[in-house]
Structure 1
Amino acid sequence: MGRRRILHWSAGCLGLWLIAGLWGVASATAGDLYSAQTVVTGQGEDNRLGGFALCLEDVLIKVSGAYQLSGDVRLTPLKARAREFVTGFDYHDQMSGKPKHDEQGTRDRPYDLTVSFDHAKIDDVLGQLGVKPWLAPRPPVGATVAMTSGSRRFLVVSDDRQSDLQRDALRAAAGKRGLDVVLPTSAQAGSVDMDGAELPPSVLAASLPDAGVRLRGHLTWDDDALRWVSQWQLDAAGAQHRWRDSGVTFDDAFRRALGGVAQILSGNGEP
């Protein structure tokens, strides 16, 4: 996941397994875990096969929680024959209801391609890669995330338009990794003053009663590097896991962060 400084204060692997085993409601069904979605242009076979390859990598990571598989060179030959693992696929026209304005018709329209994969084949591939399916119930992640760009700072909340883009991106990043996130409301966040702190205060994270684990983060825009520099802390099973990262977009930063959360909770190590 690029260069970062990782501070791991305690391992807590047994505790993480207990969280997964004791949590009453899974965040995703098995069917959800073994499917993924990407965006393709048109419904031609070449683009569809490319979409299959992207979705295969996402599903391998989502099912196992092993974000370290992202970009793994061992996936290259598997992605080249991704269609062998597919059990079904479906398209959704992102421009549904809008008239076609060119002679190509649907060829150049963007589609959401949802792909389902064979459970047994995916599990077998994971075994070959040295990881296991993470099929235990997954605890909801209570996420308190601050955004800073210049003099502007705000918290990502569940019910405020100021952070609607970040909220949608954070939820999409969680879904991509087979997780659910619980966000504070604007009322809960309204009384919070970070006062120069690196991370949102723990009292705000503790105010999210539906969360099984708690993630605190702070993204700061770096004008020189043209990137979002982020720092994260995951509190789970009495252990605190801290790491730093960066991303060109906040969508990318969120995807990497939730990948790190899944990797920790699944017992696959630090991000």
Structure 2
Amino acid sequence: MPRRVKLLCLALALVLPGGPLLASDSSALYGATTVTSGTGEKNRARALALCLVDVLVKVSGDPTLADDPRIAEMAGKATTLVAAYDYRDLLNDRPPNHEQGTYDRPQYLTAKFEPAAIDAALAALGRKPWLSRPRVAAFISVETMKGETFALDGEGKGMEADMRGSVMAAADRTGIPLVLPVEMDFAGVPQNGVALKEAATANGGDVGLSGTMIWRAEALGWIADWTLVSSGKEYRWQEKGVGFDDAFRNAMRATARILSNHGQPE
């Protein structure tokens, strides 16, 4: 590894505010947030059902559960599995303090589910909680529609900041403890298994994830190539023709699937 890259990798790692908690606080895995219209009972039940699916996927690490037909029946009983929930107004980020004007306003609903109830639901689905989670150090290079290039780290502004927030949100939704380097240039993003493992270790990660994202008109979106190195093995997969939010969500779901031993991404 070039000396400059080593120095960059040895910079302090950054875990961005709002990102997922480490595996030592597994209680964070049993909560989820979604957007709903107002605070009425019918819309709340629908929102809690969506949160339940997210939590079952997140706690198990298996994204294929979202398509399991048995989930629909469980989701219909989501209200019986909830320990607590609260609302925040999507437009002003405040809890609703009276009924007037809040009936159909968009709200963030955050639900916390009973861990024992979620664990039992997973057992019924033939899954179990995945609570011991490695810290994933991610190194992502980007080439935009205009041909501009940058590495996704903790310093960039504008589009870089938007993408950084997006990947951290995707990690939070899947319960992946994600680390981005404080500073990394485009040429310094590791492209092979050996360099990726070294960079991950230098940045406080247990495993390394490398991504190359290129916007192409012929693909009608981003082409994202991903490499994950875990336990001495390399995993590679690709997404084409997606927005960067979807690219990051797909990457985090695939990472969770691999690390929780639920198979490789398709």
TM-score norm. by structure 2 comes to: 0.80
RMSD of aligned C-alpha atoms?
Answer: 2.8
Does the 8 A contact of 1:144 with 1:204 survive in 2? no
Task: Indicate whether 1:89 and 2:85 are aligned.
Answer: yes
Go from structure 1 to structure 2 and tell me whether the alpha carbon gap of 1:198 and 1:45 turns closer, same or farther (over 3 Å shift): farther
| Structure 2 counterpart of 1:42, from 38, 42, 47 | 38
Does the 8 A contact of 1:247 with 1:253 survive in 2? no
Go from structure 1 to structure 2 and tell me whether the alpha carbon gap of 1:210 and 1:225 turns closer, same or farther (over 3 Å shift): same
Query: 2:65 matched to which residue of 1?
Result: 69
CA displacement 1:99-130 (0-9 Å, x = unmatched):
x9xx9712333322110112122111111211
Does the 8 A contact of 2:227 with 2:235 survive in 1? yes
Task: Indicate whether 1:130 and 2:130 are aligned.
Answer: no
Give the aligned length.
Answer: 239
CA displacement 1:152-195 (0-9 Å, x = unmatched):
22221112114101101111111111112111223x3266389x
Go from structure 1 to structure 2 and tell me whether the alpha carbon gap of 1:247 and 1:132 turns closer, same or farther (over 3 Å shift): farther
Deviation, 1:28, is 5.6
Query: 1:10 matched to which residue of 2?
Result: none
SS of 1:130's partner is coil
- The separation in 1 between residues aligned to 2:189 and 2:227, in whole angstroms, is 18
Gaps of 5+ in 2: 1-20
- The separation in 1 between residues aligned to 2:73 and 2:197, in whole angstroms, is 47
Go from structure 1 to structure 2 and tell me whether the alpha carbon gap of 1:198 and 1:228 turns closer, same or farther (over 3 Å shift): farther
- The separation in 2 between residues aligned to 1:70 and 1:198, in whole angstroms, is 32
Query: 1:54 matched to which residue of 2?
Result: 50
Go from structure 1 to structure 2 and tell me whether the alpha carbon gap of 1:234 and 1:114 turns closer, same or farther (over 3 Å shift): same
Query: 1:79 matched to which residue of 2?
Result: 75
Q: Which has the higher contact order (CA 8 A, sep 6+)?
A: 1
| Structure 2 counterpart of 1:232, from 216, 226, 230 | 226
- The separation in 1 between residues aligned to 2:197 and 2:123, in whole angstroms, is 41
TM-score norm. by structure 1 comes to: 0.79
Gaps of 5+ in 1: 1-24
Amino acid corresponding to residue 175 of structure 1 in structure 2: D
Aligned-residue sequence identity (percent) comes to: 38
Structure 1 stretches of 4+ with a deviation exceeding 6 A read none
Task: Indicate whether 1:164 and 2:158 are aligned.
Answer: no
SS of 1:146's partner is strand
Alignment of 1:195-206 (within 5 A): 202=196, 205-206=199-200
